[in-house]
């Protein structure tokens, strides 16, 4: 059912082809936004755009490698030409890595930096230039790993810490231009990445390990992408008009109840 919170607005969701990004794109579609799904996986992005269209939204899919600044500029130019100036940007594109500093190769570090840090920077740079003076909302998907030490997440935590501090900088530098910028920090969420990780590392024990991972959240389960999307919609809507420069956890008590 349409809800109207983003009626008449153009929203770009990077990493919108799967997982949290997909859920956000579809929630924004139900809220009345014109939605652009940006993802390196063209087929996945197109599928989500079709889903958004079936909800009655004007939608567009764009295949883009966010780590390449020229590609990002071209993608945003194309989107704005088709859907109008960007009003909302959600930086959800990201890659994961499991390992300590000793288990993290230079190639691993470069790959995570390119997507999770440089990719966010590339999108921020274009979006801010478009929003200045008009106003707009930016939401960066960070992680509890940005603020809490999690075992075997050296490189991933580094990148999400950078996402969080970029959020603070954008919020400070552009508040007078009418741009709000916040971070949303999930704990473990049940996405295709989790299923793939379990299938690869624990074949035949997926169910057992899924329950074990679920219990690491004090609430006793993983989050659902749709729950992240509901909070994302709030933060990007006028209902959150007094919120900027904030890091908003959605973590089943992971940060405050486990410490």
State the catalytic residues.
156
Q: What is the DSSP string of the chain?
A: ----TTTT-EEEEETTTSHHHHHHHHHHHHTT-EEEEEES-HHHHHHHHHHHHHTT--EEEEE--TT-HHHHHHHHHHHHHHH-S--EEEE-------B-STT--HHHHHHHIIIIIIHHHHHHHHHHHHHTTT-EEEEEE--GGGTS--TTBHHHHHHHHHHHHHHHHHHHHHGGGTEEEEEEEE--B--HHHHHHHHHHSTT-HHHHHHHHHTTSTTSS-B-HHHHHHHHHHHHSGGGTT--S-EEEESTTHHHHH-
CA separation for the pair 2, 259 (Å, rounded): 40
- Could you give the angle at the alpha carbon of 239 between the alpha carbons of 59 and 237, nearest 5°? 20
The dihedrals phi and psi of 91, each to the nearest 5 degrees, come to -90, 95
CA separation for the pair 9, 95 (Å, rounded): 28
């Amino acid at each position: 059912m349409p809800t109207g919170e983003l009626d008449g607005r153009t929203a770009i969701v990077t990493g919108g082809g799967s997982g949290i990004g997909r859920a956000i794109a579809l929630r924004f579609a139900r809220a009345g936004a014109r939605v652009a799904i940006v993802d390196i996986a063209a087929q996945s992005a197109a599928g989500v755009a079709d889903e958004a269209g079936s909800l009655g939204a004007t939608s567009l899919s764009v295949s883009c490698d966010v780590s390449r600044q020229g590609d990002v500029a071209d993608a945003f130019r194309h989107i704005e030409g088709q859907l109008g100036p960007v009003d909302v940007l959600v930086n959800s594109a990201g890659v994961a890595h499991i390992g300590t500093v000793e288990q993290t190769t230079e190639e691993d570090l470069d790959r995570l930096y390119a997507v999770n840090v440089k990719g966010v920077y590339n999108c921020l740079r274009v979006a801010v230039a478009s929003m200045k003076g008009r106003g707009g909302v930016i939401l960066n998907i960070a992680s509890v790993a940005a603020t809490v030490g999690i075992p075997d997440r050296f490189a991933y935590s580094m990148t999400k810490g950078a996402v969080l501090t970029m959020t603070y900088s954008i919020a400070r530098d552009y508040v007078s231009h009418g741009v709000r910028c916040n971070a949303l920090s999930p704990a473990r969420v049940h996405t295709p990445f989790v299923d793939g990780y379990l299938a690869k590392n624990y074949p035949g024990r997926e169910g057992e390990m899924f329950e074990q991972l679920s219990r690491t959240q004090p609430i006793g389960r993983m989050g659902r992408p749709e729950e992240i999307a509901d909070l994302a919609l709030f933060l990007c809507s006028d209902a959150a008009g007094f919120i900027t420069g904030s890091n908003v956890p959605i973590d089943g008590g992971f940060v405050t109840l486990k410490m």
